[in-house]
Amino acid sequence: MQKLAKNWFIENLVDFEYKKYILLGYLQQVKQHFIQQKLYPHLADLVMHYRNLNDFIGGKQLLFDSFPGRISKVDLENFRLAYEKVVCDDELMNEIETIVQFALPQLKAALDEGKEIYEFVEERISVTPVGILPLYKNEGYLLVNEAGNDTRVYEYQITLFEEQLSKYRGVHTRFITTYRHSITTTFEWIKRDLIKANSKLPNPATYAMISEMKFPLHETIEPITQRLLIRYIEQDKEK
């Protein structure tokens, strides 16, 4: 799928009809993926593009990253002069604002559709701890099972990172193996087997994510279960 550049509305040729063509072509591709219930990375991209346009409208100019095609080979001392030259071009800015005003509701509609699918999938995934949980829960195993089929096992690690004035938690997962579905292959049995294979984690935090339905694995199930995992652990800490 062809991605939409971060600064698509101000890069290269700034022409409403051209940008309209680019945007609608991109959104048509996104819609086709949403029909297949494939959410990522398209939903995250839509959030980013929608925020960028709102930042622009709100006067939070993108500064150096906003005009890469127009501010080339500019050092920091001369940057502000070059930037002011661009934003003071009334004709150019009017065209950009026309593009932005058209794009915002288009992106919002696609974003709402993606969020609706996200909520539909999330409501069909249950989270349950497996066995006794240790005090340290930022590292362990994630067991993902769809509609009672085979169980995929991931090793996870939660990390804390900072962005401007806020702190966020991110999760890194690594696929380990798949356990065939059977009467004896319970989540507890899988956890015991994982402990035997990795003695460095004698009692790893282990969570099972059980989906009622099958969804696209990489584009939907994996990213949603990662977000559910972080939320579940955070809520558990607050109890």
Per-residue pLDDT of the chain (239 residues), as tens digits, is: 678 998 898 888 889 999 999 999 999 999 999 999 999 999 999 999 999 898 877 764 544 445 544 444 444 444 444 445 555 556 777 888 899 999 999 999 999 999 999 999 999 999 999 999 999 999 999 999 998 889 999 999 998 765 555 566 789 999 999 999 888 999 999 999 999 998 888 889 999 999 999 999 999 999 999 999 999 988 876 66
Q: Are residues 64 and 105 in the same domain?
A: yes
With CA atoms as reference, report the closest residue to 205 among 224, 218, 217, 191.
191
Q: Are residues 100 and 138 in the same domain?
A: no
Q: Are residues 37 and 87 in the same domain?
A: yes
| Residue whose pair of structure tokens reads 């990662």 in the numeric block | 226
Q: What is the pLDDT of residue 114?
A: 97
- Integer Rg of the chain from CA: 23
Q: Are residues 58 and 20 in the same domain?
A: yes
> Does 61 fall in a domain?
yes
Q: Residue 39 is part of which domain span?
A: 16-122
> Does 57 fall in a domain?
yes
Number of domains in the chain: 2
> Does 9 fall in a domain?
no
> Does 91 fall in a domain?
yes
Burial 51-69 (b: 16+ CB within 10 A, else e): ebbeebeeeeeeeeebbee
Instruction: Round to whole Å and give the CA distance between 68 and 64.
Output: 7
Of 95, 122, 149, the one marking the end of a domain is 122
Contact (Cβ atoms closer than 8 angstroms) between residue 195 and residue 202: yes
Q: What is the pLDDT of residue 168?
A: 67
Longest dimension (CA), the chain: 71
Q: Are residues 130 and 116 in the same domain?
A: no
Q: Are residues 25 and 118 in the same domain?
A: yes
Q: Are residues 42 and 138 in the same domain?
A: no
Q: What is the pLDDT of residue 27?
A: 97
Q: What is the pLDDT of residue 169?
A: 75
Residue 156: strand pairing partners: 140, 173
- What the block records as the tokens of 206 is 């282990």
Q: What is the pLDDT of residue 194?
A: 95
> Does 4 fall in a domain?
no
- What the block records as the tokens of 150 is 């085979």
CA end-to-end span of the chain: 43
> Does 22 fall in a domain?
yes
Of 105, 122, 139, the one marking the end of a domain is 122
Q: Are residues 85 and 132 in the same domain?
A: no
Query: What's the predicted TM-score (pTM) here?
Result: 0.82
Q: What angle do CA 51, 114, 120 make, to 5 degrees?
A: 135
> Does 11 fall in a domain?
no
Q: Are residues 87 and 151 in the same domain?
A: no
> Does 5 fall in a domain?
no
Q: What is the pLDDT of residue 84?
A: 53
Of 122, 146, 161, the one marking the end of a domain is 122
Contact (Cβ atoms closer than 8 angstroms) between residue 96 and residue 14: yes
Q: Are residues 133 and 202 in the same domain?
A: yes
